[in-house]
Structure 1
Amino acid sequence: MPDVGCAGLLVEDTFCGPLAGLPPEGALLALDDMPVRAGGCAANVAIDLARQGIGVDLAGCVGRDGAADALVKSFARYDIGTSGIVRVEQYPTSRTIVLLIEGQDRRYLHVFGANRAFAIEQISRQWLASLKVFYLGGLFALPGIDFSKLKELLSFCREAKVKTVLDVVVPEGQFGMSQLKPLLPLIDVFLPNDDEARHFTGLVDPFAQLRAFTKAGANTVIVTLGRVGSVAAHEGKMWTCGAYKMDVVDPSGSGDAFTAGVIRSLLQGWDMPQTLRYASAVGASVTRAAGTTDSVFTADEAEAYLAQHPLTVTEGP
């Protein structure tokens, strides 16, 4: 049986670039390749965990189309279970075209597709009870999620001693913690980035964000800060961690790889400084190639990198 269950966003990603710039109107820009990969929070975290030698099973929704077949085949290559993936009739598989422009942030063309159909009722309690860690990726970008039913599911995980890890994708116009607050006491590790945390808390300072989440009942909160690093809060303590500097080709998937590192740390029982260092190394490794998972470290590679590249973690703001 797998140790980790990953549920949430499943997407077929097509990567274009890196490009020096977009072609002018009517012009053709020839590319060497446009790689197509499995993507979406749940898929990325699952593949990153599988690369670290951890047994994983997936839950989510895809369509009944060639993109769905390609996703399932890609998961099979990593020995990732797909028992919780549902094929739906009413939507196509979600797809994203990612445009990588040198010196600019990424641009996206997205079809939301079958992720609209994903619902809590599709997650088996028997499946949940067999896990050590349950991860839900992309909350607030999954319109089929009923928050009261999600709260019941998280309560079940707590009773079954299954650790829970949750991250979010915050749509434009989403502000405040009214929906999130009832869930926070039931989430073992909450993983927003600083922009998402700002949408929830209305605060810019990451330590103020940590305090706001803790006051709202959160257990462990880790706020990622991109190239700056990360901050964390747990049991009344706070930590600051730097970031590893690597030759960045594409930052896509770095947050999901960081999350995979955190999940491995939960399974290993590591303390917060070791967790932040390991997750930072895994998160940085994925930026070395186009795509969300192709260059992610294995566990051995990450540990060897950590041994050769110390990273400072300090306690307190």
Structure 2
Amino acid sequence: MTKILCIGTLVVDIFAEGLDSVVGPNTGFKSRISHHPGGNVLNVSVDLSKLGMKNIYCASVAGDDMFGKMLTGYLEKHKIKSEVKIIKNGQTAKCFILGFKDKSRAFIGDKGSNDCYTSGEVIKLIKRIKPAVFYAGETPSMPNVESGLDSILKTAKTSGAITVLDYIISSDKFGGNLLKCGKFTDILHINDYEARLITGKKDVKQALDFLVKSGFKFAVITCGGDNTVFSYNGKTYEMGVLPVKCVDSTGAGDAFTSGLIAKLSKLKGKTIKEKIKDEKTLLDLILFASACGALAVTQTGCTGGVSLKKAMALAAKYKNRL
């Protein structure tokens, strides 16, 4: 059975929905407020479970507060093996998400205990678990992991894992170690905003070319409601988006990456080259991932809309049409 090790951030997402374009004093009880387990590593792990994966390890850091207990309990509910480091008297990361009537969003974040997780701990985990697939997400939000990102990916790669990097940037600046990691990364996924920050290119195809020249042989840039662009072994592709009603875009990128990993895990072979033998396999892979990302936006919260049955049906519906 394929072992999948996922590392990244755990966050409690607190949503306030249906707000006017400006939130001022005395707003009162005008919006629905809900909270959901989140953070990219939880989203990816849960989505993988919902897509039929079984041997999933989720590694992160949380405080020993009520939110930390909620997150680890949620992982256990989905039969995910928790490798969460609990910080005594620490706080769990939180994100307050303001949803406005015009569908725009604002985010207020609290990083909690993210500084308390290190690259050395991740490397020890890789050596102990020996995963077939290693996923890392939002490492810029975990500075003591980000500082050793190249060593982490090198360790995973040399141990025989397929390495998947979802380089989520939650700030307005890029200053991380991504560009050192090309030769150790089998799949890189970012969105168009992150592509501009990382490469300085406004055009996503130029940004993709920059990433390829930086050593990423399989790079994917998702662009929300616009076409996904990706490159594999020197050839560039473009795929349209799947038309669905968007309720909440939070978690779409995590679901996309989960779809990539789930589909890839079911293909024969141990390496990317062995698994993706032809262009048809590549396009089917991206289409399934796109279906997962599309389903994620159909419900509030990050993982509620994703299911294997729905993803397979949506991908089949739009096969050869995008």
* TM-score after normalising by structure 2: 0.89
Q: What displacement does 1:20 show?
A: 5.1
What one-letter code is carried by the residue in structure 2 that aligns with 1:186?
F
Q: Specify the alignment match of 2:76 in structure 1.
A: 76
Superposed displacement of residue 170, structure 1: 2.4
Q: Which residue of 2 aligns with 1:36?
A: 35
Report the count of equivalent residues.
307
Tell me how far 1:174 sits from its aligned partner: 2.6
SS in 2 for 1:49: helix
Secondary structure of the structure 1 residue equivalent to 2:231: strand
SS of the residue corresponding to residue 179 of structure 2 reads: coil
- Are 2:303 and 1:304 aligned? no
SS across alignment from 2:45: helix
Q: Decide which of 275, 281, 286 is 2:285's aligned counterpart.
A: 275
SS of the counterpart of 1:42?
helix
The TM-score, its normalising length taken from structure 1, stands at 0.90
CA 1:24 to 1:170, structure 2 compared with 1: closer, same or farther past 3 Å?
Answer: closer
Q: What is the RMSD of the two structures over their aligned residues, measured on CA atoms?
A: 2.0
Q: Does structure 2 conserve the Cα–Cα contact (< 8 Å) formed by 1:255 and 1:283?
A: yes
Residue by residue over 1:239-269, the C-alpha shift from the partner in whole angstroms, topping out at 9 and shown as x without a partner, is 1010011111110000111110111122123
Alpha-carbon distance in 2 for matches of 1:197, 1:101: 26
Task: Provide Cα deviations, 1:211-251, integer angstroms capped at 9, x if missing partner.
Answer: 11111111210011111131111111111010011111110
Work out which of the residue numbers 300, 306, 312 in structure 2 matches 1:290.
300
Structure 1 SS opposite 2:178: coil
- 1:68 touches 1:93 (CA, 8 Å); kept in 2? yes
Q: Secondary structure at the match of 1:229?
A: strand
State the distance in 2 between where 1:228 and 1:252 align: 16
**Mean Cα deviation higher: 6-15 or 261-270:** 261-270
Q: 1:90 offset after TM fit, Å?
A: 5.6
The whole-number CA distance in structure 2 between the counterparts of 1:264 and 1:96 is 27
1:113 is displaced (CA, Å) by 0.5
Deviations 1:142-163 (A, max 9, x none): 112253x332222222222101
Classify 1:111/1:85 alpha carbon distance in 2 versus 1 (closer, same or farther; 3 Å). Answer: same
Counterpart residue identity of residue 67, structure 2:
A
Unaligned runs of 5+ in 2: 268-275
What letter corresponds to residue 219 of structure 1 in structure 2?
Answer: K
Tell me, in whole angstroms, the C-alpha distance in 2 between the residues paired with 1:23 and 1:114. 29
Aligned partner of 2:18 in structure 1 is 18
Matches within 5 A, 1:1-317: 3-19=3-19, 25-31=25-31, 33-55=32-54, 56-82=56-82, 84-89=83-88, 91-123=90-122, 124-129=125-130, 131-145=131-145, 147=147, 149-170=148-169, 172=171, 174-175=173-174, 179-269=177-267, 271-296=281-306, 298-310=307-319, 312-313=321-322
CA–CA distance in structure 1, aligned partners of residues 161 and 137 of structure 2: 16
SS in 1 for 2:236: strand
Any idea what SS the aligned residue of 1:67 has? helix
Structure 1 residues 27 and 312, CA, compared in 2 at 3 Å: closer, same or farther? same
Secondary structure class of the residue paired with 2:301: coil
Distance 2:193 2:315 in 1: 28
Rounded to whole Å, the distance in 2 between the matches of 1:142 and 1:161 is 25
Q: Secondary structure at the match of 1:158?
A: helix
Give the fraction of aligned pairs with identical amino acids, expressed as a percent: 26
- Distance of aligned partners of 1:299 and 1:175 in 2 relative to their CA distance in 1, 3 Å threshold: same
Given that 1:18 and 1:249 are in contact with CA atoms closer than 8 Å, whether structure 2 keeps it comes out as no
Contact 2:65 2:89 in 1 (8 A): no
Shift of 1:311: 5.5
CA distance in 1, matches of 2:90, 2:239: 41
Is the Cα contact below 8 Å between 1:120 and 1:145 reproduced in 2?
A: yes
Query: Which residue number in structure 1 is paired with residue 271 of structure 2?
Result: none
User: What is the CA-CA distance between 1:37 and the residue it aligns to?
Assistant: 1.4
